[in-house]
Amino acid sequence: MTALTIRTATVADADAMAAIYAHYVLHSVATFDTVPPDPATWAAKVRDGELPFRVGEVDGAIAGFAYLSPYRPKAAYRHTAEDTVYVAPQFLGRGYGRLLLTDVLECAAGTDLRQLIAVIADGGDGASERLHAALGFTVVGRLTAVGCKFDRWIDTVLMQRDVPR
């Protein structure tokens, strides 16, 4: 299997990230977006974000990405971030999601973050919950029927772990 090379994202990755994310917007409940954001939105996220934003490449193709974003905007939440990880459908099941999430955890260790939260839609294949559990996240809560997509009410599961030190 070809190795995944993980590096910091740049605005040049925006088209690829938009395409990966659009797949999950249109075909899954993994995200509660219903309209895919355009590449300019992704470029702005990369340019303006102050927390780690990483992409994984295989033979020059972007296979997935993972990043951290502020959990909430209010100042006292500044040591807490939410993680996001997406792998392109053609690259699923090869261990890349685990590598990307592991990498972003390692990046978090170099910041002043203390807690990481994953907000996971319950209604897909369970991959994200299992991946996060494998990397030390535990379930800390469930928000019931907070999403409505494809005519279904969807819960979110909240998972949390300390930033590794």
Ligand X SMILES: CC(C)(COP(=O)(O)OP(=O)(O)OC[C@H]1O[C@@H](n2cnc3c(N)ncnc32)[C@H](O)[C@@H]1OP(=O)(O)O)[C@@H](O)C(=O)NCCC(=O)NCCS
Q: Which is nearer to ligand X, 134 or 146 (CB)?
A: 134
Q: Which is nearer to ligand X, 20 or 76 (CB)?
A: 20
Helix 127-134 and helix 96-109: axis angle, to 10°?
50
**23 near ligand X, rule: CB under 6 A:** no
Q: Which is nearer to ligand X, 23 or 78 (CB)?
A: 23
**156 near ligand X, rule: CB under 6 A:** no
Cα gap 26→3, rounded to integer Å: 29
**18 near ligand X, rule: CB under 6 A:** no
H helices of the chain, in order, are 14-27, 39-48, 96-109, 127-134
Judged by CB under 6 A, which stretch of 42-50, 52-60, 73-81, 96-104 contacts ligand X?
96-104
Identify the residue whose tokens are 């030390």: 136
* Six-digit token string for 15: 């088209």
**Residue 112 C-beta: closest distance to ligand X, Å:** 22
